Each structure stands twice: as structure tokens, then as C-alpha cells.
Amino acid sequence: YVQGAGSLRHQLRVDKALRSGRTRRLPRSPLAGLPRRSNRPWIEGAQISVRPPQAADRAVPGHWEGDLVIGAGGRSALITLVERTSRFVLIHRLGAGHDSQTVTTALQTMVADLPRAVRASITWDQGSEMARHADFTAATDIPVYFADPHSPWQRPTNENTNRLIREYLPKGTSFTDVTDTQVQAIQDRLNRRPRIVLNGQTPTEKLNDIINGANTT
């Protein structure tokens, strides 16, 4: 075997760099400096930066934050939706699957009975489970917006609520071993818990006030 001259010169440069303890600078890629295509194309046009400003104001009801709470080994999940003004939570047990089609179908069921007054928007993280958000919006007329990567503070109400749920279903729990009745009981308990931030009202009471107020205007 005869090593080519080009390969030999390359090896000599590598050996020299190793002896000197210095890392050889690699040639600049012709693609360097060009904008990188997102590996999450479903978020394009739906980033939180284009969300209506009033969605950030808790004085305007109907804006929700959503997420998945993942069970043991990543094999099961809960969907959680929290209304920002009232802190009212909806919880749905997915069981074994949490692909985008399963999540989209479940979300449509979760919001089906919500009055128009509290169907303004949902803000989610950039998980692929929401890749079909356009289908969800077409079916429900509720737009979905995506928080920036690694920015849980953009969905603070949901993050806090998920921590409360973990008091009942700690990490390591398999949601395939949890019944829908148990999940409903947790949802009811959270929604009936008086909150200091709501001046002693429960999330259920606050949400009812919002809905009743909308019906009288």
C-alpha cells in the first residue's frame, strides 16, 4: 500500500499539532454564516414573538399554557392545560402514546366544552407532540404559539401547576398504572384549592366569574 502525497501531508500536519498540544484550525465551511434551517419546522410562523400582546396580561382571560408531564421511562404522559387568569387546570391521561396525532386528538376533546370567552390561545413548548397544531387550530379556532427554546419562564403558570401535580404523581410514576378517575380527582382538588393569588378564590370560582361576566356583556 502506497499512501498518497495529500494524505501524507495531512497526517504530518495532524502529528505536528498533537506534538505541539495545539488544535489545528479547521477550514471555514462554505455554509458558515448562513441561517440554519430549524429542525422544528412546525413552529415557523407561530413563535411566541407573534403572539398578541394581551396574551401576556392576566387581565385578559382565555389564554392557556400547555405541556406534557411524562411518566416513567417516557412511555406514558399527561396533557396539562392551565388558564392563565384563573389558574384553572385541565388534565388528560394519555397512557401509552404521546405522538402528535394522539396529542392533537386529545386536546380537541379537552377544549370541546370551553365557552368562547376562554378560548383565546394556547402557548406550548417546542415539543414535536404539537407538530399538528395547525390541525388543532383548524378544528377548534384556538391558535397555538410556541415558547422560545429552554424558556420555561414563558409558561410559568403551567410549570407551577405541573409541580403541584407531581405532589400527587411523583416522578417515576407510570401513568398507565393511574386511572382516569384518579386523574380527575387530582384535577378537581387543584381547581377547588383556594389561592392567595386569587384573593382566596378557587380556580373554579374564578373561571366561573370570567364566564358569567362574559355572558352579561
Contact 160, 182 (CB under 8 A): no
Instruction: Give all domains of the chain, ordered by start, each with its CATH number.
Output: 46-215 (3.30.420.10)
26-68 per-position pLDDT tens digit: 445 443 443 333 466 667 778 899 998 988 888 899 999 999 9
Q: What is the pLDDT of residues 174-217, one digit of tens each?
A: 999 999 999 999 999 999 999 999 999 999 999 999 999 887 76
Give the tens place of pLDDT for each residue, 70-124.
Answer: 999 998 999 999 999 999 999 999 977 899 999 999 999 999 999 999 999 999 9
* pTM exceeds cut of 0.95: no
147/145 Cα distance (integer angstroms): 7
